[in-house]
Amino acid sequence: MLVPLKGLGRQHADMMTKAGVSALALSSSSTTAEWARCKTMIIEKALCALFISPEVLSHNSSFAKLLNEHNIALLCFDEAHLYNDWYLWRPTMSMAASLVSAQRRLGLTATMRRRDQQLVVRRTGMSTPIVQRGRFLRSNLLLQFLKRPAALTFGRASVADRLSAATEAKWRIARTLRMAIKARSLQGNTIVYVPSRAQAETVCKQLVQAAKDQKLVAVGAALKFRPYHAGRTDRSEVEQLFLSQRGVVVVATIAFGLGVDCAHVRVIIHFSGARSLAEYAQQVGRGGRDGEDAYCLCFYNPSDSQGIRRSIESAVLTTSTTTALMRKAAFASGKLNVAVRGDVRDVCTVPPFLEMGAGGPTVVHDALEDLAAAKLVDIDYSDDYPLVQPLAVLDRQDARAAGRLLSKSMKSAAAQQLAVLDEALDFMEADGCLQRRLCDVFGAPDDLDAPVESCRCGMCEPATIGAGFA
């Protein structure tokens, strides 16, 4: 199974091992001994399930060859919606899908937009799969969005505005702490989602200080606060603590948002909004897995995504810059032919990609996708691995025309990313039942017409939602 996060692979492997199934998880942090054990078990046909990240498979051709030589019965794609959502910045996902020769393939996800279905099918190497959608509605999730003042002030903000922002940030910490205390009294845990690693550390420290100020230990409401993000080395310890104990509050980035299977999550808080609707749906899905109520509160402000918007917009190069790059890359000698025919992996065996080592395949794959988006090459996805047929040889193209095409492609990609941010903000700002609108995006056909009876979301029951968590 290809898993997008190392922690997710560890959890799956542990769960299957406890169920009596021989399973292992491999990642970039696996030891030499763990790799050797895995290879031995594969050769001896003693391994039933292997959980591995796309990067590990993409950058280890000998291991991919070993897997193919021993006939993989089923290739699974966990969190399959990410093969579309993360496609632009993580090309190794579709690349890894093409490196395995398994004919039987299975994609699993809880948040697949109907409009994205065909793209995911293509990028996971399937042809005409059977698609089954289950009911998306979970009435025990008490969803609420709370618009707040901007927590950050830019430019020459007045003293009053700065004080208001600081007061609001403290109020959010206090509200989060009260809800975590309530979750602890219900023998449950709390997840606080934040957009960055730095904020995970900062918010966790602020919650610890707020708990000390209220002397929670003295009143028997002790909480355990832990930050969690991809830059920390104690992630597995935090996962185990969260699964095995009560009263744990994890302040996490998206790294803790997939596959966390803990039955006793009573509170989910989005401290600074959500970057996408799929991300929000995945993260609130961590709550209430035992069937009991879980309160899901999202603090948001339109300014939350300003930093992300600026980074997306600044990554788009002007036409003059792309023209100069294309002229330098392919038109300098007047004789350079960079058309690619045959298996793309062959490109990585020649300079300059040969010197890149494990990063070579990723660079080639990413570059070819950009060229395809600019309509300079056409990628045939019908084979085990993309075959590239040139629509035109670059040294026969006008550099200005090629530069314009590449710039147009970059603008299109940026527009898609900005549309994801806009969709999330529009969802937060719109009226109407939250459960109903989520079902309209992610639900099965039956969800589209089925009424949401006795819904307790912040739109349907604004006066009573969260009363038990006050």
Listing DSSP states for 192-209 in one string gives EE-SSHHHHHHHHHHHHH
Same domain, 155 and 290: yes
Q: What is the pLDDT of residues 181-212, one digit of tens each?
A: 999 989 999 999 998 899 999 999 999 999 88
Mean pLDDT across 267-285: 91
The phi and psi torsions of 50 (rounded to 5 degrees) equal: -125, 130
Residue 269 resides in a domain? yes
Same domain, 240 and 146: yes
Is 70 exceeded by the pLDDT of residue 122?
yes
Q: What is the pLDDT of residues 128-157, one digit of tens each?
A: 888 888 778 888 899 999 988 776 544 556
Same domain, 36 and 184: no
**Token pair 């299977």 in the structure block, residue:** 261
Same domain, 36 and 118: yes
Distance CA 217, CA 349 (A): 61
Sheet hosting strand 265-270, strand order edge to edge: 141-147, 294-300, 265-270, 189-193, 248-252, 224-228
Residue 233 resides in a domain? yes
Tokens of 306: 């300003």
Within 13 Å and on the Cβ side, how many CA atoms surround 353? 17
Is 90 exceeded by the pLDDT of residue 46?
yes
pLDDT at residue 370, as a whole number: 66
Residue 26 resides in a domain? yes
Domain range for 266 is 141-303+436-469
Same domain, 271 and 335: no
Same domain, 395 and 317: yes
Total number of domains in the chain: 3
pLDDT at residue 336, as a whole number: 39
Overall residue count recorded for the chain in this entry? 470
Same domain, 156 and 295: yes
Residue 314 resides in a domain? yes
How many helices and strands (H and E) does the chain possess?
Answer: 17, 12
Residue 129 resides in a domain? no
SS3 127: coil
Residue 430 resides in a domain? no
CB-based contact 265:294 (threshold 8 Å): yes
Same domain, 162 and 296: yes
Same domain, 149 and 296: yes
- Please state, for a pLDDT cut of 70, what percent of the chain lies above it: 77
Which contacts of 64-72 are long-range, i.e. CB under 8 A and separated by 24 or more positions?
A: 64/99, 64/100, 66/39, 66/42, 67/42, 67/100, 68/100, 68/101, 70/42, 70/43, 70/45, 72/100, 72/101, 72/102
Which of 97, 123, 149 delimits the end of a domain? 123
Residue 130 resides in a domain? no
Same domain, 157 and 267: yes
Distance CA 238, CA 276 (A): 25
Domain holding 186: CATH number?
3.40.50.300
Which of 123, 155, 187 delimits the end of a domain? 123
CA distances from 215 to 158, 212, 220, 221, 223 (A): 35, 5, 9, 9, 11
Beta strand residue intervals within 345-424, DSSP E: 377-380, 387-390
Q: pTM for this one?
A: 0.76
Residue 372 resides in a domain? yes
Q: What is the pLDDT of residues 432-444, one digit of tens each?
A: 889 888 888 887 7
Same domain, 13 and 112: yes
Q: What is the pLDDT of residues 324-339, one digit of tens each?
A: 766 665 544 444 334 4
Strand 248-252 and strand 75-78: the pairing is unpaired
Asked which of 208-222, 234-248, 301-315 is least confident by mean pLDDT, the reply is: 208-222
Instruction: Indicate the average pLDDT of the chain.
Output: 79
Same domain, 15 and 59: yes
